[in-house]
Structures are given as C-alpha cells and as structure tokens.
Structure 1
Amino acid sequence: MGSLLLYLICLFMASTNVNAFPGFQKREAPFDQVRTRLNRHYQDAEEDEPDKYFHEATFHQHYDGRFGDKKLKYEERLSHLSALIQTYFSTMNDIGAETWIMHGTLLGWYWNRGILPWDTDLDVMVSERTLYHLAEYYNMTMHHYHIPGLNTARDYMLEVNPHYSEDGIDSSNQIDARWIDTETGLFIDITALRRNRTVDSAGAEDEADAMMVKDKHHYLYDDIFPLRQSTFADAPVKIPFAYPELLTEEYGEEALSKVFYEHHRFNIEKGEWKTLRFSELHGLSGLSRNTSYWGMRLPLKHG
C-alpha cells in the first residue's frame, strides 16, 4: 500500500511539473514540440544572435512562424488582436497576475480605449514577482477559449523566455514572455518591470524607486503604481498611473493630439480611427502642421 501511494504521488508530481518546469533551453520551443496546424515552420532564426530565444516569422516580425504562415488582412487582424488581449487579461485575472498595458497599446487606449488599427502587435508589462510566478507554474501552458466574435475555438500559449531571470539590458532577449495565438501566430509581448539594481537614477529618493526593463526603458515606481482600472478592447485592464507623462516621454506630445496618422484620421465625434480614402490622402498632401487638424488636442482622461 505504501509503495502504491508513493508511486501515485510521484506520478502526480511528474504530471503537474510538465508545465511548471519544461526543461528551459537556450532556444525557442522547437517546431516539432509545439502543437501547430502547420507542417513546416516560418521562423527567422538569426545566425548572428545565437543566444536569442524568441524568433519572429520570416514574413513579418510580429508573427510567430511556428504557428502563422502569412500576414492577416487588415480587416481580419483587428478582431484577432482583440481576442488576443481579451483572453490574455482573462487568464491573468484568473491567475491573479499583476499586469498592465504599455507602449503602443497604451497609446491606443488613450485615444479610444481600442487597438490602433495599424498596429500589428500588443505590449503589456508584468511585475517581476508575477514573471517568476508565470515561469514557475504556467510556462508552455495552453489556454482554450471559445471566441464569440470569431465563431471558433482558439488555443493560446504562454511561453516564458528562459533568460527571464537575468537582470540588465539584453538586446537579444528583451522580451521576457509571450502570449501567442496558435492559430494565426499573432502574439503579445510581455516584459517585466524590475528594480534597477545597478544605477542610482536621478530623481529617485532611494534605489527602490528606480525601475527598468530589459529594452532600456527606465521608470520610477510612481510612474507605474498605483495602477488604474480601465477597459481596453472591451476587456477590463490596468494602466500605469502616470500614463500622460509616460506617453509624452515615449512618443512626444504630438502623438496625443495628431488626428492624422498612418493613412488614418481620428473621427472625434465617433471616437474612432477611420481609413482615409485616396482622394482624402491627396487632399492632405498640402496640409500644414499649423492647421487646426495637427494642433487639435484631446483632453487627458482615465477610467
């Protein structure tokens, strides 16, 4: 009886640890070890970066070539990206992970709580403690969702970079983890906010206030926390506390006011970006930055 009990305990530990400790390697999970609809991969494995873990697709840098084989059409991409962010935050909320939107995704939130229509990826951050928790218990886990808007079921994979615990700037491994759509290859880049243990940042009252990310971004603790509750792409999300200052520093003041960008015009009445027709683009060719369109500023608001 004792031997049987010991065997069952060992069997349980082995089964639960498959996802928790998948045998971190120096390369991305091999194509033949992940579930995919493709019979070949489209990964761009850069020979000049042998230590890089995450590799992008040969046809576009914002797709994972183990799962995607082509770029989605403009009309398709937005619905798939929306499902990507909705399933990510649903999973992270269930786990109790501390995570928030950043970079271009935060800029899209600022304009209309939605994804910028020309964007092809999404960016989020997690706390360092959350990253370690995800790496220990959720790495390489698959998450199954039924997506009403897509009328199909979809599997999403959480993959953690084995270099996640290495502090400091790392140009080859700036991305700590990814949330990947295993049908299209689209993904969310996940980076961890860490204490800056190597420098005393100007303006920080003590070293604990200085924060950093592997991609060379530096912050103060009060830039991020306390996080604000909001919505994005119809999903409950969190945003950094000092979002106006963060967006202005990263993109400039014009990014918070310019209503023409990437062949789109922001319709203030409807609160949405619309694709410009060719005739409209031609008419804008002589538009000066001094006109009211370029100088129009939207009020800062949150919630």
Structure 2
Amino acid sequence: MRLSLRLLCITLLCAGIAASPSTKIGPDFRSAGINIAKISSNKGGSPGPKYFHESSFNNHYDGRFGSEEMLEEKSLPYLRALIQTYLVTMKDLGVATWIMHGTLLGWWWNQKIMPWDADIDVQVTEPGIHFLAQYYNMTEHHFDLPGIPGGRTYVLDVNPNYNVSSTNDYDNVIDARWIDKTSGLYIDITAVRPDDKRREKGETGALICKDSHQYQEEDLFPLRDSLFEGVPVKIPFAFVKLLTDEYGKNSITGTRYNGYTFNEEAQLWIRDDVNDKLTKAQQYQRS
C-alpha cells in the first residue's frame, strides 16, 4: 500500500546529534504495533522478480539515484549521515532496529563505520517490517544537516515481496532500504522472522532472515543500548558470538585488514600508506 509522501524535517545538531522533529504525521509503532503484530508472514505466494536494482558502476548504490561512484574519503560522510538519519527516524517511529554484520563489526572496534565498508546492514522484527510497509512505504524524510546547504532527503522503500518469507525468493532477500537520494547510497534492512522448519524440530527460539542467516532468540534479544557514529543504537545481545560465528575469531582481534591498521591510541582504522608516513615522521622527530 503506497501512502502520500511523509515529509519529516529533522535538524541534526553538531553537539551529540540531537534531533528536533517536526509535527508528526501518521502513527508510531507504539500505537499501531498491537494490530501489526497479529499479522503473520505470508508463506503463500511465489518469489517475485527482483525489486531493488543497484547501479551499474557499483552495487552499493541504488540505480535510480546513484550517478557516480565516490572515493572512499568522500563517501564516508554520506554513510555516516545515512546511518544517523536512519537511527533517528526509526527511534522517532518507535520501530526496534539494530545493526548487524559488517556494521556491527565496525561498532565492535570503535563504534564507527569501517572506512572500506560501504555496506550498511540493519535488522528489524517481523512486526516492524509490516508496520513500515503499511504506514511508511515510499515516504521521504528530509534532514537539515550541519554544513550541507539544503540538507538531504532520504527514502524509505519497502520491497513489495517483503511478505513472501521463503528463502527461495533469492532476488528479494532485502526487505527494505533507506536510500540517500543525493548519492544513491543505501542501508539494507532485513526482517528477522520465526523459522518454522527449525521450530517444528524442537528449536523453540529459532529465527531466520530471507538471506538464510539463522539465529536463536537469545542471540538477538534483549537488545543492548550503545552508540554508533555518535547516535543511540541497539545491538544484539550476544554480539561476540554473532561476530565470531560470521567472521571468525580474528575479526575481533586482528588489527590489520584490507590495507588498514587499527591505531589503538587514535581508535581509528588508518590506511597503511598513511601509517607508514606517520611512522617515518615520528622516527624523524625522535632522531
């Protein structure tokens, strides 16, 4: 169901990324969630054609809005604003969401997006994706951002195949996206659902996403409170287990990766070529 565009104007202040929303239009999850929660996944229906189409030059950009690939240094501020505005909006709507996969790994190291990772991943509950689809699909959200003349506008786009829960819907494993209309960069939103097949075999807390990632309820819930890129965020309860299961134990201990080294003093991932220059400069100063 497509609704009239909802314009949500929020000003992000430099200090603490405080948000001041405009008059709210439409319900929040707290008021509508009781009815939404009663909706079960549509296990009928066939997998549909691919809904989201990425750009031809880089699959981390939406094909409708992305016009060119940005250099890593230029894209990072866009990605930071992307996750900040998403988290602020979901909090405003009352929808539980949490970071996962590589984004959670970035949180583990320094509560920031890893500089080489343009793939931002978040999850929501099944009632949460139903709520977003029913009330906020294809809504635009405008933010007045510090240092950005005219601000930026983001689109919440829910995949019409979100209610086909089968993992055989290979082309539609992403249930929704939060998209920056200026750059085309986006956040992948996937819903976590009960895994009926495993539950029938006795795994009472089994959960699954359409991309076939499997969890137990105690892996995710209760969610923990933290910060990410300077704004409040939820993280899954068993974050160490989830990270090591997905990426291996070295992912949370190894300080060199993809041409970067983690600087413990600065708490930043720094490119190796920059690190080399810093090391030479320090050696020169000591001599």
Is TM (by shorter chain) over 0.5? yes
Quote the Cα distance in structure 2 between the aligned partners of 1:51 and 1:133.
23
Residue of structure 1 in register with 2:157 after alignment:
159
Quote the Cα distance in structure 1 between the aligned partners of 2:221 and 2:60.
29
Distance change in 2, residues 1:161/1:115 (3 Å): same
Query: Shift of the alpha carbon at 1:121?
Result: 2.1
Is residue 3–residue 139 contact of structure 2 (8 Å, CA) maintained in 1? no
Residue of structure 2 in register with 1:192 after alignment:
191
Q: Does 1:238 align with 2:234?
A: yes
Larger gyration radius, structure 1 or structure 2: 1
Write the mapping of 1:1-303 to structure 2, written as runs, cut at 5 A. Answer: 17-18=3-4, 51-169=49-167, 170-200=169-199, 204=203, 206=204, 209-277=205-273, 280=276
Is residue 265–residue 276 contact of structure 1 (8 Å, CA) maintained in 2? yes
Is residue 5–residue 140 contact of structure 2 (8 Å, CA) maintained in 1? no
Give the AA of the match of 1:192.
A
Under a length normalisation based on structure 2, what TM-score does the superposition of the two structures give?
0.78
Distance change in 2, residues 1:278/1:92 (3 Å): closer
Is residue 85–residue 235 contact of structure 1 (8 Å, CA) maintained in 2? no
Q: Secondary structure at the residue paired with 2:76?
A: helix
Query: Shift of the alpha carbon at 1:229?
Result: 0.3
Q: Secondary structure at the residue paired with 1:190?
A: strand
Quote the Cα distance in structure 2 between the aligned partners of 1:57 and 1:119.
17
Under a length normalisation based on structure 1, what TM-score does the superposition of the two structures give?
0.74
Quote the Cα distance in structure 1 between the aligned partners of 2:89 and 2:49.
29
Q: Secondary structure at the residue paired with 2:4?
A: helix
Is residue 19–residue 137 contact of structure 1 (8 Å, CA) maintained in 2? no
Quote the Cα distance in structure 2 between the aligned partners of 1:196 and 1:181.
32
Give CA-to-partner distance per residue, 1:235-276, whole Å, 9 cap, x none.
Answer: 110000000000000000011111111110000111110011
Q: Secondary structure at the residue paired with 1:63?
A: coil
Distance change in 2, residues 1:279/1:132 (3 Å): closer
Give the AA of the match of 1:246.
L
Q: Secondary structure at the residue paired with 1:226?
A: coil
Give the AA of the match of 2:190.
T
| Root mean square deviation, CA, Å | 2.3
Give the AA of the match of 1:236.
P
Quote the Cα distance in structure 2 between the aligned partners of 1:100 and 1:149.
28
Distance change in 2, residues 1:223/1:156 (3 Å): same
Quote the Cα distance in structure 1 between the aligned partners of 2:107 and 2:272.
21
Query: Shift of the alpha carbon at 1:278?
Result: 7.9
Is residue 201–residue 210 contact of structure 1 (8 Å, CA) maintained in 2? no
Distance change in 2, residues 1:203/1:277 (3 Å): farther
Is residue 125–residue 190 contact of structure 1 (8 Å, CA) maintained in 2? yes
Query: Shift of the alpha carbon at 1:279?
Result: 8.9
Give CA-to-partner distance per residue, 1:40-68, whole Å, 9 cap, x none.
Answer: xxxxxxxxx97111111000000012111
Give the AA of the match of 2:106.
G
Give the AA of the match of 1:275.
R
Distance change in 2, residues 1:201/1:63 (3 Å): farther
Distance change in 2, residues 1:267/1:149 (3 Å): farther
Quote the Cα distance in structure 1 between the aligned partners of 2:207 and 2:197.
10
Give CA-to-partner distance per residue, 1:96-115, whole Å, 9 cap, x none.
Answer: 00100000000000000000
Quote the Cα distance in structure 1 between the aligned partners of 2:63 and 2:177.
13
Query: Shift of the alpha carbon at 1:150?
Result: 3.7
Is residue 97–residue 122 contact of structure 2 (8 Å, CA) maintained in 1? yes
Is residue 162–residue 175 contact of structure 2 (8 Å, CA) maintained in 1? yes
How many matched pairs? Answer: 237
Give the AA of the match of 1:75.
E
Query: Shift of the alpha carbon at 1:197?
Result: 1.4
The percentage of counterpart residues that share the same residue type is 48
